[in-house]
Amino acid sequence: MSQNLETTYNPKGMEDRLYSKWLEKKYFHGEIDRSKKPFTTVMPPPNITGKLHMGHALDNTLQDILIRYKRMQGFNALWIPGTDHAAISTEVKVTEQLKEEGIDKRELGREKFLERTWEWKEEYGGTIKNQLMKLGVSCDWDRERFTLDEGCSEAVEEVFLKLHRKGFIYRGNRIINWCPVCKTSLSDAEVEHEEQAGSFWHIKYPLKDGEGFLEIATTRPETMLGDTAIAVNPEDERYTDLIGKMAILPLVNREIPIIADEYVDKEFGTGAVKITPAHDPNDFEVGQRHNLPEINVMNDDATINEEGGKYAGMDRYVARKAIVADLEAAGLLVKVEEHIHNVGTHDRCGTTVEPFLKKQWFVRMEELAKPAIEALSNGDLSFVPERFDKVYLNWLNNIRDWCISRQIWWGHRIPAYYCDSCGEIVVAKEKPATCPKCGGTSFTQDEDTLDTWFSSALWPFSTLGWPEMTEDYQYFYPTDVLVTGYDIIFFWVIRMVFSGYEQTGKCPFNTVFIHGLIRDSQGRKMSKSLGNGIDPLEIIDQYGADALRMTLVTGNAPGNDMRFYMERVEASRNFANKVWNASRFIMMNIEKIGVSEPKSASTDPADRWIISRANELVRDVTENMDKFELGIALSKIYEFLWDEFCDWYIEIAKYRIYHADEDKESANQALYTLKSVLQIGLKLLHPYMPFITEEIYDKLVPEEESLMISAWPVFDEKKEAPAEVRVLEHCKEIVRSVRNIRSEMNVPNGRKATIYVVTKDEQLSAGLSELKEAMKLIASAADVVIQVDEEGIAEDAVSAVVPDCVVYLPLSDLVDFEQERERLAKEKNHLQGEIKRATGMLANERFVSKAPEAKVQEEKDKLKKFEEMLKQVEERLEALAGK
């Protein structure tokens, strides 16, 4: 033993020191080893603009638990970290920085702007990496990647060219999400939907023939300037005679057709809807089916363009007011209804997003989605929990073509060149020498960059060197598990799956482990606007990373949101203290007495019990972790270490340790068992609380290099000891009953009494006899007498009934007999209630016929036990009747 632990557990300093050691020893680094099976996962790349928040802390803690577990199991574990260039948010940050210096981005120019952005990335881009290190993540920092690094950029370019050659990438007019402030298209992932108070404006659309009008309801009156049809359901008898006729678009006076399309829900509203193909994705699809004109009535800044006539130049909301006023003046406004609806806003600047038609680059999704859909049915892919299969499939089955171009400078520039002479588009890695159409030699590259998700879609294989057939790629790919939140299944997971199949022919991972969101103690989502966010770094600074990690996993179930309570952090810190103090006690006594491997296995029932329980724990925790039930596994480790190991076995073992001079062999056996079981407990706890477990293990087992690279424990059937387990469970019940009696009767701590245990069970009697001295110590008893009947026990003894035996304490000079009768009466009522409940269940034919056989038998056993206990209580009440 090198040295004892510090007197007080203090994670400050210790955690940084240990992390530096792990980095120095390269324990996180993965090298190809054909003798081992690889286990690979990739970190969902956080934005370089971000800093560690609770979502990151949870996501990376779960990944770290899995990678540490697999590493200890002997897998060649590789966890690849990296960051995302976060195109729009980074550009916004740098643009704001320039504004503060009085510099206009456009005047600075693209090249100079990109230089400044790279400078910004170098200065601030590593912030979150350093914060992740504080959390203790064991990823291979030697392999850290960035979505704009040379290798990832090569992969992006390769994929764009390949998809374009196959016809999957095209340039065309389609509806996109447009931010009028940032003046760029957005992916669905960059649009946040929030409930806003709005209105339904009901408007009369006159029929051309003068035979009345159609009533249309809309939440965006300004878009009516671009209406090109009215649609009704073909089965709606109200409008059958109008299909094919013409209506007059109010205020614009343009003739528009009345068409039939099944898209219209005849039960919703008036059953007639305005069709604006240039300003609504569903209307666009209707327009495509009916060959309708597409009239975009907005400029990039969301002002009305020349197509809007008298409203041209007005902001969209100013135009809305003017249009509504003009409709009312013309007698065409039927009514206005208040309406709460979801409105899309840009997640970076908060601006309401405008869907409108614009020429952009798109990925054709129909064919690419097919293998991703089949992945679930053919077993290539599974979700944990399984219910997210439906979310994944629903999105894929309804997927639209993906808009991949962005009107910003920071990002992967689209490798497309336009001939300055004839406008021909040439997609190539380098600027072409001559135009294949006209022979021109002057070209201009497309100004747009690619959607950030285009590069992160390639993350599982681009990070391993693809498109080069590197050894890393061939050995570590496909990866094994992806850990991520349910909020980006559509945006990221799906893109990785179809990209993996298209580019590598394989699903990029076999399992997607989904976790929920971290909410505040009231169940609200953490946000800047509510001011309810909690900084993980502040928690780490105050309580340590281990306490935070344990809190994040305690009670955590796959796919479910969880609430964050500071009380849980306190409880996690208390647990760390408990483990620390117990370890310190063991090591101090090993230092004092010494310990060596015994010549033979222990026969002491307490030793065999704790070894058996530790062995069962290994089996259960391993099964739970393999099923990704990380919260359940942690709960079992916690209960074992706190309750069975610290509160019971250590206390039981103290007698042998304190009497080492009298029986050195027994003391050595106890200390050896303590050390061995603590080692197992530390190994099982290590993935969750890596720092405290490493610090203790280093000093407990100095001959080993590190707990982090030690072997995961393996279940051994030979270590099962059912007889000893039974004896110890009875021992615990006896001690608890004695403690309860003393507490109820307010017996002073210093006063000791003889404990009589009456049992006719020979095996139990023999086992308890071996524990006699330990029971005296932990139950504060003068003596423990184990016998087959009540002979010699004072009539005024207080009793407690436990399964298979009765416990007596002769406290006649301390006992308030009336209080004892009350206590037994309460126990009688309790047992009668349990008997009534069990009898009722067993009399229920539905329960008996449908419940598992084991469950029915369990209820029968309970009933028998309660009846025996009730009989003993009634006997005690009868005995006290005359006192």
Question: Hey, is 768 helix, strand or coil?
Answer: helix
Domain 184-355 is in which class? alpha beta
- Give the pLDDT confidence of 18-72 residue by residue, as tens digits: 999 999 999 999 999 999 999 999 999 999 987 888 989 999 999 999 999 999 9
Which residue(s) pair with 781 in the sheet?
753
Cα atoms in the Cβ-side hemisphere of radius 13 Å centred on 68:
26
Q: Domain limits of the chain?
A: 184-355, 360-456, 560-720, 722-814, 816-883
pTM of the model as a whole: 0.84
Give the torsion sign (CA, 192, 195, 198, 202): positive
Q: Is 358 left (phi over 0), alpha (psi -120 to 50) or beta?
A: beta
Cα atoms in the Cβ-side hemisphere of radius 13 Å centred on 178:
23
- Give the pLDDT confidence of 363-413 residue by residue, as tens digits: 999 999 999 999 999 999 999 999 999 999 999 998 889 999 999 999 999
Angstrom CA distances, 415 to 90, 110, 147, 755, 815, stand at: 21, 16, 17, 86, 92
Q: What is the mean pLDDT of the chain?
A: 92
Which residues 6+ apart lie within 8 Å of 652 measured at CB?
606, 731, 771, 774, 778
Looking up tokens 């979310």, which residue turns up? Answer: 391
User: Which element (helix H / strand E) includes 518?
Assistant: strand 518-519
- Give the pLDDT confidence of 473-505 residue by residue, as tens digits: 999 999 999 999 988 877 899 999 999 999 999
Same fold, 184-355 and 722-814: no
Taking the C-alpha atoms of residue 564 and residue 571, their distance in angstroms, rounded to an integer, is 12
Residue 411's closest CA among 791, 152, 137? Answer: 152
Collect contacts of 584-591 with beta carbons under 8 A, ≥24 apart: 584/4, 584/5, 584/7, 585/650, 586/650, 586/671, 586/674, 586/675, 586/678, 586/700, 587/1, 587/4, 587/5, 587/699, 587/700, 588/4, 589/657, 589/671, 590/1, 590/671, 590/675, 591/1, 591/4
226-240, 534-548, 810-824: least confidently modelled range: 810-824
Residue 388 near residue 409, CB atoms below 8 Å: no
Average pLDDT over residues 312-318: 95
Q: How many residues does the chain have?
A: 883
User: Which element (helix H / strand E) includes 230?
Assistant: strand 229-232
User: Which element (helix H / strand E) includes 338?
Assistant: strand 333-346
Q: What is the third-level CATH fold of 722-814?
A: hypothetical protein PF0899 fold (3.30.2320)
Which residues 6+ apart lie within 8 Å of 291 measured at CB?
none
Residue 708 near residue 68, CB atoms below 8 Å: yes
Most confident of the ranges 137-151, 334-348, 749-763: 137-151
Instruction: Give 811's pLDDT tier (boundaries 50, 70, 90).
Output: low
Which residues 6+ apart lie within 8 Å of 771 measured at CB?
605, 606, 652, 727, 728, 731
Rounded to 10 degrees, the C-alpha dihedral 274/279/281/286 comes to 40
Which residue(s) pair with 47 in the sheet?
84
Which residue(s) pair with 785 in the sheet?
756
Which residues 6+ apart lie within 8 Å of 353 measured at CB?
177, 178, 179, 186, 191, 344, 345, 346
- Both tokens of residue 677? 């079981």
Architecture of 560-720 per CATH?
Orthogonal Bundle (1.10)
Is 208 known to sit in a ligand binding site?
no
CATH of domain 816-883: 1.10.287.380
Which residue(s) pair with 248 in the sheet?
255
85-99, 408-422, 583-597: least confidently modelled range: 85-99
